[in-house]
Amino acid sequence: MRLSMTYFLNKVRPHGKLFRGKNRKVKTISMREILDLKKDFEREERNMLYLRHPYLTSEQSYGHMKELKAQRPHIMEKYHEYRVQKFSRQYTFADALSHLRVKEAWD
C-alpha cells in the first residue's frame, strides 16, 4: 500500500508523446535560447536587407559571367567524363566473387 501511495502523490506523467496533447510536459525556456532566437532574427533581418537593396541592378548583373565562362576550361565536362568512365563499367558476378578464387586446382 505504501508503494502505491507514492505513485499517487507524484505528479502524473504524460503517456506516449511527452510534448504533445492535453497532459503534455511543457519545456522551460532558458535565457540562452531567447538570446539565440534574437540573434537568429537579427541575422535574418540583415539577410533581408541585402536582398532588398542589392549591390548591382538587374541590368548591370545581366551577362556578367559570359567572359569568364569562355576563359575557363570546361570543368563540368571533365567531371561528367570522369563519372561516365568510373560508373558505367559493366560489373558481373564473376567480378564480385573474384576474391574467392584463390587457386584454380580442385585438389
Q: In 3-state terms, what secondary structure has residue 36? A: helix
| Predicted pLDDT at 24 | 84
Q: How many residues does the chain have?
A: 107
pLDDT greater at residue 78 or residue 47: 47
| Predicted pLDDT at 38 | 98
| Side-chain-side CA neighbours of residue 51 (13 Å) | 6
| Predicted pLDDT at 26 | 86
**CA-wise closest residue to 65 among 52, 56, 54:** 56
Q: What is the pLDDT of residues 52-105, one digit of tens each?
A: 988 888 888 888 777 777 766 677 788 888 888 888 778 788 888 888 877 767
Q: Residue 23: which residues within 8 A CB-CB, separation 6 or more?
A: 12, 14, 15
